[in-house]
Amino acid sequence: MDIHYSSEERAFRDEVRAWLAAHLPAELRDKTIGYRSLTKDDFRRWHRILAQQGWVAPAWPSEWGGTGWNVVRRYIFEEECGYAGAPPLPPFGIVMCGPVLLEFGTDVQKQRFLPRIYRGDDFWCQGYTEPGSGSDLASLSTRAERDADHYIVDGQKTWTTLAHMADWIFCLVRTDRNARSKQEGVSFLLIDMTSPGITVRPLPLMDGGREVNEVFFDHVRVPVENRVHDEGKGWTVAKFLLGYERMNTARIGTSKRELVQLKKLAMRETKDGKPLLQDTRFRDRVTRVEAELMALEITNLRFVDQLRAGRAPGAEVSMLKIVGTEIQQTLTELMMQAAGPRAQPIAPIDDDPAFDRFVAALAPRYCNYRKTTIYAGSNEIQRNIIAKHVLRL
């Protein structure tokens, strides 16, 4: 096992850093590192900058616009983007739906959807979770009844991230209520969000944001040609897609950037004239999370080395999701502790307006990050996966 970069890989990392420094718009970077909301136009702007460079879909085959990078270079690119403060592109089109179409889609579906996903013409969201059907995803009840060359879809999805911005949604629906198992009766549909019968209702969050939504389907007609893979085989597609989602939840580059921000914040003098980083207990927590982040990075590089050798990691990839999201939450907690009473949206109390704006966003961000250990399969479910498939318990 080799967890060190070669000279060529280090040169590539330097190339990516230089390109990001020259092409990442300052206003988008400032929004990202300042925890301000990104608009649909912001996402599309960065998407199209990457697409123009040919870097928006590194994992896609070269004939569809992929870079031809190996897994190590793709990993380097993702982590450098996170460290630089690039806006995280919503994964639903490029990272999720695109690979699904490449693996299971028909030629017609690929020609229709992939170029538009690549260019950023279509904005996608994911229709998986339902009320009462989250971690036990196979219990979903949204149904799709066949009517000649259409399905009639009725039901509800919830916690649908960015559905209010989306042009399309990929959905798991139940097409056979009499199947031998819950998984066998599920199909995978691509649904136009402008279809009659779709209602999107925002779900206000504790941080005041409205990034997640309820999506209601009331007799929505979906052409059968928009089904990906065979009828009743949607669970196969779902498992494939969730593997891509969980590989991208560690966000090591982003957490390394946040650790730097935390240390800067903790070095500012408190009321007693001493930086909080001089407090033994606080410094111990910072040291612990830094050590955990280093260990996570090494673990991630082990998986990358396996991919480099042609062996895809199995259920153990859940470790990245568990530890990565818990580190993200710990960093928000330490940021809150370092900022103290300033970590809330109140009137400025410091002589530095930029600093006031930064710390005022910490409390909403802390609230928002409570979700990280839930999405992409809760961490409790991930531990069960490891116990069953890795430890054989």
Please answer whether residues 313 and 244 qualify as being in contact, where contact means their C-beta atoms are separated by less than 8 angstroms: no
Which pLDDT value is given to residue 255? 96
312 versus 72: the higher-pLDDT residue is: 72
pLDDT confidence band for 317 (50 / 70 / 90): confident
Query: In this predicted model, what pLDDT tens digit does every residue of 89-107 receive, in sequence order?
Result: 999 999 999 999 999 999 9
Mean of the per-residue pLDDT values for the chain? 90
**What percent of the chain has a predicted confidence (pLDDT) above 70?**
93
Q: What is the average pLDDT across 332-354?
A: 74
- Position 377 scores a pLDDT of 77
Cα 357 from Cα 67, distance rounded (Å): 38
| Low-confidence winner among 50-54, 60-64, 284-288, 345-349 (lowest mean pLDDT) | 345-349
Q: Give the model confidence (pLDDT) of 140-183 as tens digits.
A: 999 999 999 999 999 999 999 999 999 999 999 999 988 888 88
Question: Can you give the pLDDT at residue 323?
Answer: 95
Query: Cα-Cα-Cα-Cα dihedral of 368, 155, 202, 251, to 10°?
Result: 30
> In this structure, what token pair is assigned to residue 119?
């260019």
Please enumerate in sequence order all residues whose Cβ is within 8 A of that of 237, keeping only pairs 6 or more positions apart, or say none: 100, 104, 188, 228, 229
Tokens 């065979």 appear where? 230
Going from the C-alpha of 265 to that of each of 40, 84, 149, 314, 339, the distances in angstroms are: 30, 18, 59, 39, 7
Polymer length in residues for the chain: 393
Comparing 67-71, 250-254, 344-348, 372-376, which segment has the lowest mean pLDDT? Answer: 344-348
Q: What is the pLDDT of residue 21?
A: 98
> What Å distances lie between residue 263 and 32, 104, 122, 344, CA to CA?
18, 46, 39, 19
Of 94, 32, 122, 84, which is closest to residue 248 (Cα–Cα)? 94
Mean predicted confidence (pLDDT) in 337-346? 77
According to CATH, the superfamily of the domain at 124-234 is: Butyryl-CoA Dehydrogenase, subunit A, domain 2 (2.40.110.10)
Q: What is the pLDDT of residue 352?
A: 62
Beta bridge pairs of residue 213: 202
Is residue 111 over pLDDT 70? yes
CB neighbourhood size of 162 (10 A) = 19
Greater model confidence, 275 or 23 = 23
Residue 347 pLDDT grade (very low, low, confident, very high; cuts 50, 70, 90): very low
Mean pLDDT on 248-274: 85
Q: Residue 38: what are its φ and ψ, rounded to 5°?
A: -100, 135
Label residues 206-225 b or e (16+ Cβ within 10 Å = b).
ebeeebbbbbbbeebebeee
pLDDT at res. 270: 66
Q: Could you give the residue numbers annotated as active site? A: 245
- Between 1.20.140.10, 1.25.50.10, 3.10.180.10, 3.40.50.1970, what CATH number should domain 249-389 receive? 1.20.140.10
Please state, for a pLDDT cut of 90, what percent of the chain lies above it: 65
Mean pLDDT along residues 38-48: 96
Three-state secondary structure readout of the chain: CCCCCCHHHHHHHHHHHHHHHHHCCHHHHHHHHCCCCCCHHHHHHHHHHHHHHCCCCCCCCHHHCCCCCCHHHHHHHHHHHHHHCCCCCCHHHHHHHHHHHHHHCCHHHHHHHHHHHHHCCCCEEEECCECCECCCHHHCCCEEEEECCEEEEEEEECCCCCCCCCCEEEEEEECCCCCCCCHHHEEEEEEECCCCCEEEEECCCCCCCCCCEEEEEEEEEEEHHHEECCCCEHHHHHHHHHHHHHHCCCCHHHHHHHHHHHHHHHCCECCCCCEHHHCHHHHHHHHHHHHHHHHHHHHHHHHHHHHHCCCCCCHHHHHHHHHHHHHHHHHHHHHHHHHHHHCCCCCCCCCCHHHHHHHHCHHHHHHHHHHCCCCCCCHHHHHHHHHHHCCCC
Where do the domains of the chain lie? 7-89, 124-234, 249-389
